[in-house]
Amino acid sequence: MFLQTILSNKKLLTACVLAVVITICAIVVPIAVVNSYDDAPAPKKFTGREVLDEVPLIDGHNDLPFSIYLVERNLINRFNLDSNLKEHPVWSAVNSSHTDLPRLRQGKLGAQFWVAYIRCADTQYKDAVARTLEQIDVTKRIIKKYPNDFKYADSADGIMEAFWEKKLASLIAVEGGHSIDSRLAVLRLFYELGVRYMTLTHSCNTPWADASPIDEVTPVPSQLNNLSAWGRHVIWEMNRLGMMIDISHVSYGVMRDVLQHSRAPVIFSHSSAHTVFEHHRNVQDDILSELGRKRGIVMVNFYPLFVGGNTIDDVIKHLNHIRTITGVDHIGLGGDYNGVSVTPEGLEDVSKYPDLFDMLANGVLRTGETFDPWTRDDLQKLAGLNLLRVFREVERIRDGLVDEEPFEDLIPYEEFERANVADQPCMSDMDMHKN
């Protein structure tokens, strides 16, 4: 009877249908809304630069101390690094000026290896040791001058302590074996001064290790010395001390010898991939593979003349290539800022690292070409975790060698002869090396 009344009354029927629809809506819509809150806190897109707040970004190679020598003659009392050097009357005209405190902050640097470098062509067999000491001194003084920004570090733990204090961990490196003047005593004292890696050569051969330009000479000299017998002692003494061995700048043969003889993982502080761009400063694939097997790290150089292109895209191609050869556990960054006179578009100075991390996370080059994006884990390793792992392993091996005696061997006179540098007028008591 009731149903019949409704069905026979169109108005009433419409009202009833509406009521049912409204009731259903009142129940279902709130559930749907709650659900959408549940599974979608609108997934915030991961930006690569976030990683730099999570782990320290550790750059392997910055030549600011050499710029300070060139521009200021190492006189820093009146020099202000906490200023925009792009507007400084003198520094603004210097092509190789890519670093100041405002830009370091923007670049979210967590740790920097500052390089005590002096030119080998001027100083080898002359005043290399004294000149290197001056660069170590100016580096220590610039670190002390900005205690709110820099924190001196000489260990992996020291890097993390600085990072938690939101300061830039500042480490010291020596670039070029010419700086030890073929004396293990000097190497040991460099360690005591805080030097935590030494590049075995710069562009000059030393009596005990060939530099990379030898690989460019055609034909390659038949008498490659590679790492000499005494050079092996340098390697072992560095292992014993806990100083990282840097094989950027050395010849291919020396890379192979060092990878064979070092008891600890080794680093390339600023080198890129030879397969992507053929340059003697870049690392060949077989060396990259061996480096990975030996748990080392290659910190990629941004210099356009080594990278073979002048944009951030070109640098990313090197990173991606190395990732395919070594895996993601053996890559880092060594921008070479202040050591070069040109830098890539997009990586002009130390303020630009965050952009690189964003691009790697996105997996898109500026040209629009895509690549496998780097995950958060990948980027944490690239930023700093890989270098920290290598550093800790070098420290662990040092601790295991506490009972080993220092290597005392003098470089044999024959090694000076073979290198054609016996009878150097600037060196005294060469007879000491004859036995």
In order of 10, 15, 22, 291, the CA distances from 7 in angstroms are 7, 11, 20, 85
- Alpha helical stretches, state H, 376-434: 376-380, 386-400, 413-418
Contact between 222 and ligand NAG (CB under 6 A)? no
Q: Which stretch binds ligand NAG (CB under 6 A): 13-21, 81-89, 249-257, 347-355?
A: 249-257
For the chain, the maximum distance between any two Cα atoms, rounded to a whole number of angstroms, is 127
Query: What is the CA 271 to chain-centroid distance, rounded?
Result: 9
Site string (327-346) toward ligand NAG, x via CB under 6 A: --------------x-----
Q: Which residue has the tokens 């003889």?
A: 261
Query: Is 280 an annotated catalytic residue?
Result: no
Query: Is 202 an annotated catalytic residue?
Result: yes
132 versus 226: smaller Cβ distance to ligand NAG: 226
Contact between 224 and ligand NAG (CB under 6 A)? yes
| Contact indicator for 313, 367 with CB cutoff of 8 Å | yes
Contact between 352 and ligand NAG (CB under 6 A)? no
> SS3 of 55, please?
coil
Query: Is 279 an annotated catalytic residue?
Result: no
Burial degree of 42 (CB within 10 A; 0-12, 13-18, 19+): exposed
Long-range contacts of 124-130 (CB under 8 A, 24+ apart): 124/178, 124/204, 124/206, 125/181, 125/421, 125/424, 125/426, 125/427, 126/426, 128/178, 128/179, 128/181, 129/179, 129/180, 129/181, 129/183, 129/186
27 versus 93: smaller Cβ distance to ligand NAG: 93
> SS3 of 158, please?
helix
In the complex, least distance from residue 191 CB atom to ligand NAG, rounded to whole angstroms: 28
Side-chain half-sphere exposure of 92, counting CA atoms within 13 A? 6
In the complex, least distance from residue 314 CB atom to ligand NAG, rounded to whole angstroms: 18
Contact between 256 and ligand NAG (CB under 6 A)? yes
234 versus 356: smaller Cβ distance to ligand NAG: 234
Q: Which stretch binds ligand NAG (CB under 6 A): 11-19, 32-40, 250-258, 314-322?
A: 250-258
In the complex, least distance from residue 120 CB atom to ligand NAG, rounded to whole angstroms: 19
Query: Is 433 an annotated catalytic residue?
Result: no
Q: Pick from 419, 408, 383: which is nearest to 54 by CA?
A: 383
Among 124, 199, 226, 272, binds ligand NAG (CB under 6 A): 226
Query: Is 278 an annotated catalytic residue?
Result: no
| Contact indicator for 353, 48 with CB cutoff of 8 Å | no
202 versus 256: smaller Cβ distance to ligand NAG: 256
Contact between 201 and ligand NAG (CB under 6 A)? no
In the complex, least distance from residue 78 CB atom to ligand NAG, rounded to whole angstroms: 25
Tokens of 124: 């080898």
| Contact indicator for 238, 199 with CB cutoff of 8 Å | no
Site string (284-313) toward ligand NAG, x via CB under 6 A: ------------------------------
Q: Of the listed 202, 274, 321, 433, which one is catalytic?
A: 202
77 versus 95: smaller Cβ distance to ligand NAG: 95
Residues assigned a catalytic role: 61, 63, 175, 202, 249, 270, 336
- Site for ligand NAG, rule CB under 6 A: 95, 224, 226, 252-253, 256, 341
